Structure formats: structure tokens, C-alpha cells
Chains A and B, each alone.
Chain A
Amino acid sequence: MPAYRLNSKGAEIQRYDAIGSDSSAKPRFVTHAALALDDTSGAVCGATLPVAHMKPPHVPHGRAKAHVFGTVPLTVDEQKIVSLFIEEVEEEREAGEKRSQRSGLFQYTVHPHCEEVTESDGTPIYRRFSCVGYVLAAYGEAGVKPLDTEPENLPEVEEASMKMAYPELYQHLHRRPNAQQALSSVGLDGTGPWRVVLPGYLFHAMNRPQAEIRSAPYQAVEGNEVFP
């Protein structure tokens, strides 16, 4: 199976494999997904790797801890297409990051996991992603769709799990004087539950035979936020 939990033995990670970081509060609950930027040999659990990712506000950019990883694996041509996607998004991400630092305008979105922000005539000006949305969009550009992201096919997620999945985001937004508006700005209206794509789902989707990853999107089920 092409998705693994890293251990102390070390594993081979290929460029643009998906890597996941665990929650510090709950073991094996995956809270972040990113694209590994380089081939890495001997990657151990907890290794900090260079990544391309969409980070929640107040999380350092450019590197992420790897506790799990998943590989399609992508062909060299598909990797080139993913590179192209990363370049296309980069300036938008950079501007979004500067906005997030100093205002309440987040490029990061939890739900939907990716969306285009358009002008009145429908021209997209930039894209917003969640961390896992960014990885899925990159793979999608290369024609690989490992996960079924239709909201009606996603399990419901309670607020407690959302807090676990997005600890920094909640810490940042939850105590804002207008917290509800702040949470709405990332797509979390009301008190839940919500049908959202959580990072752990990606690794279950990739924990299947390669042909299946490429041919049939995985339908996430309750509990998939944890990757064993």
C-alpha cells in the first residue's frame, strides 16, 4: 500500500509525495498535509522536510514535520505538471500570506477545500485552499484524483474534531472578538457538524493499490481523520 506511517527505520520519500503531520494532542490524528519538495531517503517519523503547502495562518511556511506519507507515485511528467501548478499559485499564496499576517483576510479556507475568488465578470483573480485542498488540487492538475470531495459523500465532523484538525487556526480565530465571523471567513459557519475534507482522509485514499488510486476516488468514512 502506498501510504505509510513513518517510524525510526527511515523511508524513501519521493518529490511531491504527500506528507502528513500529526496532532500534538491526539496521536495519529493527522492535522496537516503538504507536498514533499525533494526526494528524501531515510526519512524518520517527525523529520522536518521542505514542502510546498498551504499553511493555516501562524504556521511557519516552507517546512513541515512528517509523521505519515503517501505516494501515488507520480510519474516524472506528472511531477512537472505539479511543479507548474505550484508556480501558478505561488504569487497568489505569497500575497495571501501578507494579507493574513496583518488583516483578517485569509487565503486559507477550510470549506470548501479549494475555491476561486472571482471578479464580477467571473474572472478568477486568486485561489484559496485548505492544506489538503492544495495537495488535492496539485494532484488534480496532473489528472490524479485520489479522494471523493463531494460534500454529500464526506462524513460529518464535529467541532471538537475541527479544533483538533486545525489547532492553530482555532487558537488564532476562536478568541477573536468577532470569532464567529472569523470562522465563517474560512468556511466554518455555525457550530457544525460540517462536511469538510480533513487531511487524514488523503492518506486513507492513498493507502490503496496504485491502480485504484488512479482509477477510483476514495470515499472517506468517519474515523479517517486518524491514520493508524
Chain B
Amino acid sequence: MPKFARESAEDIFQSIDSLGFTARRVSPAFVQGRDRRRKQGTFETVSMQEYRLDREFPEEERSDEDEPPEFRYVCALDLLRLTSSRYEVYRKPPEVIGLVGLPPHRSSFGEQERLRCPVDSADAPLPDTPAGVLSEFLSDDTAESRRKYLAILAEAYDFNPIQKKQLEPALLQFIESYRDSNDPDDLTAVGAAIRKYVGMIDASRVGRLAALLESDHRMVLPVALQLELAKMIARKFAAVPPSSPDPEPVLAERLSALACAYLNAFVLNDSKRAAVAMNAMQGLAGMLSPKFAEAAKQLKQSGCTWFQSQLHRRLLRLIAGWEEHISSDDKAGLVQRLREMTREADLT
């Protein structure tokens, strides 16, 4: 993903100046704000400084068609918001007051806005390099809410092989720690961690994911995470074909159990569960697992023709992708096996 370095608060305030606005401190005293980072059930309190955008617009500037004051105001406001959104403290909508110099009828933007920006040193800006993300993610001193955000951030960064070796076990531990959470924000972070973790690991180590699909774990993996896991297993084997058929029988067994739990006409009407089943089937096919045939048989009995034809279409895509990746003769047999499995499943 193309990335760019995030700007410092000073850079941002300078850009606001260049738009002709001044981000003024509203009052000399700090105000108190609540931090979203909860520790032991309580909110942390941080100091914040209120800012507002100020600007007098002379009459002649108001007719500037290319960059009318309203446009520049919105740009400046976005920049100011960026400063506050770096932190986790901003909770309530900004307080809006009148924009000096603009008659009310000119624009809905004709207002001033006041934003609160934290000044507490504990609210350090987020890291913007892979090394920074990794170091904070691994640190025992990192607040858990921040670690969750770092898991989301880590997904978009490219780590070097040494960093990956450090990140992999930490991500797995993070996934195991939060897999039972019913907080949607936690699930988003765990989902990102699953995608990054499975994306990074060598295909030969995918088998360890079987532990996450244990049916006798104290809580069933939330459906949203089942989907991320099944999807990533399917994607891993689509990108890296197995070296031989059925390389991870335990994982295949659990993936098959997952697919079969959902492969009936009633359940497949639920699109999330249908997506889990679809990706689990793709994963089984990608592993060239004999479990695929069993699951395909159950699918045919369900009578869900739309699901069958979509799975068939995806398997053809998988075959085409493997044909593109695999050039050596010794692996040509794998493509042939996948083709046979697809034909035998008779999903059309």
C-alpha cells in the first residue's frame, strides 16, 4: 500500500497558517478531557488545549472563485481535526461558533470551530514506521487500547524479515488474548491481526491455525473472526500452492467441520455464515484435502445452487491462478489434482 509520512503538529499548524487561518488557543488554561483508553474500568483523564480557527475575510477575498473562503475553511478544519484525531481523547462533537467576517447565508461552513487537542505527554502521536509500530506493539508499557489500534495499523505496514520474526508470535498472542471478546472494536483489531499474521507466516506453518478453530475452546470463535480466518487460509493456499496434497490434515478437519456446520439452505441465507462456508471450502480445495469432497457432497444435498455455482466459479479462478504461479513440472500434478477435485464435486 502506498504510504506517506504523517505530519507533525507543527507542520499542520503551519499549513493552517498558509490557508490564512490561525488556530488560536481559546483559553490559556488547560481543560480536562477523557481518554478512551480504559485502564481497569476507569477512564484516564488527560489535559487538553482548546483551539479554534480564526480569520477575518475582507470583502475582495470572498469573490475568489477558485478557492472561496468556505473551501479554505473546510481544508483548515480538516487539518485541525487531523491534529486531534491523532489521539484517542477526542470524544464529543466539536463546539461550533460563528466564523468572523462571513455573513450566515454564504455557506453552511460559515462558522468557527473549536477543537480540543491533548497536550499530555502520555498521548504521544502514533508511530509511523514499521519499526515504531513493532516496538510499541511489543512493549509491555503500551496501553491495551493503543495496542489494539497498533494491530490495525500494523496490517498496512511492510515489515522486514527480522521484524516479522518478532511480530508473528506477538500477533498470535494478541489474537489468542482477544479472540473471545464481544466488543466490535476488539474484533476489528483481531481481524486485522489475523489477516496480517496469516499473510506473513510461511505456508508450512499455517497448521498452527487449527488451534483457533478448536470446537472445545471455552467460547466459539465469533463468526466475523471465523470468516477472517477461513478467508486467509484460502488466500494463503491460493498464493502459495501446497507442496503436496493434504499438507495440514488437522486444520483441514476443523475447516471442514466449520464448513459443514453452515452448509445447509437455511444457514446459507445468512450472508456472513455463507461467506465463512465459501472460504472454508476454498481453503479445503487449496489444501487439496480429501475433506473437500465430503463437504461438497453435503453442499449438493443442501440444494443451494447459487452457492454451488459461485464456489465452482471461484475454484476455476483458483486453478487459473495456480496455473499462472506454477511452472515446474513437479507441481503440475497439483493443478491436475485440483481440476479433478473440481470436476468430481460436480458443482455446475
Point out residues on A near B: beta carbons under 8 Å: 58, 76-78, 80-81, 83-84, 86-88, 90-92, 94-95, 98-99, 101-105, 117-126, 128, 141, 143, 171-172, 174-178, 181-182, 184-187
- Given known contacts A83-B271, A177-B14, is B239 in contact with A123 (CB within 8 Å)? yes
Q: Is the CB of B7 within 8 A of A177?
A: yes
Q: Is the CB of B155 within 8 A of A181?
A: no
Residues of B within 8 A of A187 (CB): 2
- Does residue B4 face the partner (Cβ distance < 8 Å to A)? yes
Give chain B nearest CB distance to A90 CB in angstroms: 8
Q: Is the CB of A91 within 8 A of B271?
A: no
Interface centre among B2, B7, B231, B275 (most CB of A within 10 A): B2
Q: Is the CB of B76 within 8 A of A95?
A: no
Q: Is the CB of B5 within 8 A of A117?
A: no
Question: Per-residue 0/1 for B72-88: is the Cβ within 8 Å of any A Cβ (1 yes, 0 no)?
Answer: 00111011001001100
Residues of A within 8 A of B4 (CB): 104, 178, 181-182, 184-185
Chain A residue, CB-CB nearest to B191? A91
Give chain A nearest CB distance to B156 CB in angstroms: 5
- Given known contacts A81-B310, A87-B275, A91-B224, is B2 in contact with A98 (CB within 8 Å)? no
Q: Which of B187-214 contact A (CB under 8 A)?
A: 187-189, 191-192, 195-196, 198-200, 202-203
Q: Is the CB of B227 within 8 A of A84?
A: no
Residues of A within 8 A of B188 (CB): 91, 94-95, 98
The listed residue (B86, B269, B271) touching A86 by CB distance below 8 A is: B271
Q: Is the CB of B227 within 8 A of A88?
A: yes
Question: Per-residue 0/1 for B277-307: is the Cβ within 8 Å of any A Cβ (1 yes, 0 no)?
Answer: 0110000000000000000000000000111
Give chain A nearest CB distance to B24 CB in angstroms: 19
Q: Is the CB of B195 within 8 A of A92?
A: yes
- Does residue B12 face the partner (Cβ distance < 8 Å to A)? yes
Give chain A nearest CB distance to B10 CB in angstroms: 9
- Does residue B341 face the partner (Cβ distance < 8 Å to A)? no
Q: Is the CB of A119 within 8 A of B199?
A: yes
- Does residue B71 face the partner (Cβ distance < 8 Å to A)? yes
Residues of A within 8 A of B306 (CB): 76-78, 80-81
Residues of B within 8 A of A83 (CB): 271, 274
Residues of B within 8 A of A76 (CB): 306
- Given known contacts A91-B191, A92-B195, A124-B235, is B155 in contact with A84 (CB within 8 Å)? no
- Given known contacts A88-B279, A104-B5, A187-B2, is B231 in contact with A118 (CB within 8 Å)? no
Q: Is the CB of A103 within 8 A of B126?
A: yes
- Given known contacts A123-B240, A171-B75, is B231 in contact with A181 (CB within 8 Å)? no
Q: Is the CB of A125 within 8 A of B195?
A: yes
Residues of A within 8 A of B71 (CB): 171
- Given known contacts A101-B85, A121-B203, is B310 in contact with A175 (CB within 8 Å)? no
- Does residue B313 face the partner (Cβ distance < 8 Å to A)? yes
Complex CA gap A98/B154 in Å reads 12
Chain A residue, CB-CB nearest to B187? A91
Complex CA gap A123/B149 in Å reads 23
Complex CA gap A143/B274 in Å reads 18
Q: Which of B35-78 contact A (CB under 8 A)?
A: 71, 74-76, 78
Chain B residue, CB-CB nearest to A185? B2
Q: Is the CB of A91 within 8 A of B12?
A: no
